[in-house]
Structures are given as structure tokens and as C-alpha cells.
């Protein structure tokens, strides 16, 4: 029994890539694998997405890009760094054949750049597009509310279309994230940059299968101890759960250090296939689940998978799926990583 085991399904990543390519209606799909591939493992996700038809990778930092570039299978991949780069990093990017985003200040030379115009995100981005330099290969923007605000999203798409209308057609125009790709056909332009949907997680906090997407990650553990609480006994720090009648709880050896956040108390997991509530305070290395009787030590627990969704955990924690998965500790000594291709 592994205390914390993450299984990444490369087949799901590939199929999600194909689904997004269809939604993008002829535009290229660039796979966003920043933050260790949203916690799923950047290099593995990158290879699967490229296998499914993605034509470039996007990350947030030059170091993330350099790590991918060092993977033999990604030696030739197009890699776009979307966040800012300092002077030393511009040199590294040039040497590693990365592409950068120019969103303020002078446009770097000798390295391929994408000019970023701010159409309403109010974060990175130039207020006016400068005339493209020789190093420019793309023009881009970023949507602020494609998951929630059609009026503003359409306004951003219109602004982008106008700002880029007269430009040389060799410049790749790209603006859409996952929500934009799935809901705004007019946002696809020449390429879309999809992250969350690639992993089979909903950008809308709803059921990803409604958009034809398959969750790619499973998270499993086991019951390490089944314990009977007598009336008045409590479990965990702060005594936040007290039995008001005799009750069984299972102690599962994962906690907030593994990414099972403290604000996920009250969410559900599967114990041997049955839905059970997480009760009491989440510890660093353990959680407690309500049982309806004693179970054997070693009984499997599914924390994500088989209908236990990242979206559901996010709702309980009052956050978004993005924050749940980027917080999972999938790649340290605490976890076992399994790669499957189903």
C-alpha cells in the first residue's frame, strides 16, 4: 500500500488535446504546462499533449522552460515563456531556443518574441502594440473572465481583433485560454493556449465531461487505522470532530503537506468505493474519514478519481480546481507517481 499515489493517464491528456483541437476549429493548440503541468508532471504532460497534436508548450518562467528543454524528447519542442524574464534569463532563453513574451519595456533581440497587448486583463501587456520588430513571431492577449463574463470577453476579443488587424499574417495571433477555446469560437485566431482543460478539469467549476474532457489524474491512499470513538471522543487537532454517539473513523495517511488542504474538511473521498466524509481537522500527514463500521487496514481510499472530482474539493475549499491541483505534492519523496497510458 502506498501512502500517497498519483496516477497520470497519458491517454486522457492526448484525448483532451484532440477535443480542444476540435473546439479550436483549425487553430493550433499550445499546451500550457506551467507549475509542473498544473501539478500533473510537466514533462509527461508535455509529451502526451504533443503526441495528441499540440504544437507548442507554454510555461510561466524561464527555469520551467529550461527544465523541459533538458528532456531529450522535448529538445526540439517550441516552448513559450509567458511570464517576465530578467536580463540573464533572456540570455538563457536565447541559448535554449525559447520564445519570450514582450509585455513591457524594450523588446528583446535575438530571441523569438510574442508581443502582448492588454485588452482588459489589467496585468501584463502593452497598452498599444508597437510595430513588430524582426524578432516578433506572435501577438497575444489574455482573457480576464472567459469562464464567467461573455460581454467583457467579447469586448476583449473585439479589441484584440482590431489591434492586430493590419498585421503581417506570419505573426501568430493568440488570445484564448481553456474557457475561451471552449466557449468562444471567435477567440481561436491562429493558436489557443490551453491549460486546465488539457488536464480534464473544468474551467467553469462544473462537470468537465460536459465538454468532453476526461480527468487525467487519480490520487489514492489507504486506511492506515480504523478506530472506534466512544461518545464524547474526538479526532484530530483542536477537537473539531467529536462523536455524539459511538462511531468508527478511518485514518488516512495524507494531509495538507500532500496537498489535501485544511479547508477541505467536509469533502468526500471513496473508501473501498463508498463515499465517505472527511471530518475533523486535516493534519500535515493525516485526515480522518467517517465510516459506518470497522474496515480492514489497507482498505483503498480514492481522494481524486472515480467520481471524486477536483471541482468538488475546490467547492468545499471555496477555491478553484487550478489551486487544488497546483497544490498537490505529486513529485516529491512523499508520493509515488505512476504513469499509465489507457
Ligand X SMILES: *Cc1c(COP(=O)(O)O)cnc(C)c1O
Using CB under 6 A as the criterion, which residues of the chain lie in contact with ligand X when the complex forms? Answer: 32, 34, 82, 142, 177-178, 193-197, 203
Rounded least distance, CB 25 to ligand X, Å = 17
For ligand X, the closer CB: 164 or 281: 164
What three-state secondary structure class fits 8?
A: strand
Dihedral, CA atoms, 261, 254, 328, 51, nearest 10 degrees? -150
Rounded least distance, CB 106 to ligand X, Å = 21
Specify whether 227 is catalytic. Answer: no
Rounded least distance, CB 77 to ligand X, Å = 17
Asked if residues 147 and 321 have their Cβ atoms less than 8 Å apart, the reply is: no
For ligand X, the closer CB: 32 or 247: 32
Q: Pick the catalytic residue: 184, 222, 227, 237?
A: 237
According to DSSP, the residues that pair with 172 across neighbouring strands are 138
Rounded-to-integer distance, Cα 209 and Cα 229, Å? 39
According to DSSP, the residues that pair with 138 across neighbouring strands are 114, 172
DSSP structure class, residue 44: H
Asked if residues 208 and 233 have their Cβ atoms less than 8 Å apart, the reply is: no
For ligand X, the closer CB: 192 or 303: 192
Give Cα separations from 173 to 35, 150, 238, 331 (angstroms): 24, 20, 54, 34
Q: Pick the catalytic residue: 34, 38, 116, 199?
A: 34
Rounded-to-integer distance, Cα 137 and Cα 101, Å? 10
When CB distances to ligand X are compared, the closest residue is: 195
Rounded least distance, CB 94 to ligand X, Å = 21
Phi then psi for residue 193, to 5 deg, are -115, 100
Specify whether 184 is catalytic. Answer: no
Q: Kind and range of the H or E element at 106? A: none
For ligand X, the closer CB: 32 or 68: 32
For ligand X, the closer CB: 34 or 40: 34
Rounded least distance, CB 194 to ligand X, Å = 5
Give Cα separations from 172 to 136, 152, 161 (angstroms): 9, 23, 12
Tally of CB atoms within 10 A around 298: 9
> Catalytic residue numbers?
34, 237
Amino acid at each position: 500500500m502506498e501512502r500517497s499515489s498519483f496516477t497520470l493517464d497519458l491517454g486522457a491528456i492526448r484525448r483532451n488535446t484532440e477535443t480542444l483541437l476540435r473546439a479550436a476549429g483549425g487553430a493550433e493548440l499550445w499546451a500550457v504546462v506551467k507549475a509542473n503541468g498544473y501539478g500533473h508532471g510537466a514533462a509527461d504532460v508535455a509529451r502526451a499533449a504533443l503526441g495528441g497534436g499540440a504544437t507548442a508548450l507554454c510555461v510561466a518562467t524561464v527555469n520551467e522552460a529550461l527544465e523541459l528543454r533538458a528532456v531529450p524528447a522535448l529538445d526540439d519542442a517550441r516552448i513559450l515563456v509567458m511570464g517576465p524574464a530578467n536580463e540573464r534569463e533572456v540570455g538563457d532563453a536565447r541559448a535554449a531556443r525559447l520564445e519570450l513574451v514582450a509585455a513591457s519595456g524594450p523588446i528583446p533581440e535575438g530571441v523569438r518574441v510574442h508581443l502582448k497587448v492588454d485588452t482588459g486583463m489589467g496585468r501584463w501587456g502593452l497598452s498599444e502594440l508597437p510595430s513588430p520588430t524582426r524578432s516578433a513571431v506572435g501577438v497575444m492577449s489574455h482573457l480576464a473572465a472567459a469562464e464567467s463574463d461573455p460581454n467583457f470577453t467579447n469586448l476583449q476579443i473585439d479589441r484584440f481583433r482590431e489591434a492586430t488587424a493590419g498585421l503581417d499574417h506570419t505573426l501568430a495571433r493568440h488570445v484564448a485560454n481553456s474557457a475561451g477555446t471552449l466557449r468562444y469560437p471567435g477567440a481561436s485566431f491562429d493558436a489557443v493556449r490551453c491549460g486546465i482543460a488539457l488536464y480534464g478539469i473544468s474551467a467553469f467549476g462544473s462537470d468537465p465531461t460536459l465538454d468532453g474532457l476526461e480527468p487525467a489524474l487519480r490520487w489514492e491512499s489507504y486506511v492506515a487505522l480504523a478506530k472506534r470513538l466512544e461518545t464524547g471522543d474526538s479526532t484530530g487537532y483542536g477537537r473539531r470532530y467529536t462523536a455524539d454517539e459511538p462511531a468508527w473513523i478511518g485514518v488516512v495517511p495524507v494531509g495538507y503537506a500532500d496537498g489535501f488542504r485544511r479547508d477541505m474538511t467536509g469533502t468526500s473521498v471513496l473508501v473501498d468505493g463508498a463515499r465517505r466524509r472527511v471530518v475533523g481537522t486535516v493534519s500535515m500527514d493525516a485526515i480522518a474519514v467517517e465510516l459506518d463500521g470497522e474496515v480492514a487496514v489497507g482498505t483503498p481510499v480514492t481522494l481524486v478519481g472515480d467520481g471524486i472530482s477536483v471541482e468538488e474539493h475546490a467547492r468545499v475549499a471555496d477555491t478553484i480546481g487550478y489551486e487544488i491541483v497546483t497544490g498537490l505534492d505529486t513529485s516529491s519523496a512523499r508520493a509515488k507517481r505512476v504513469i499509465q497510458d489507457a
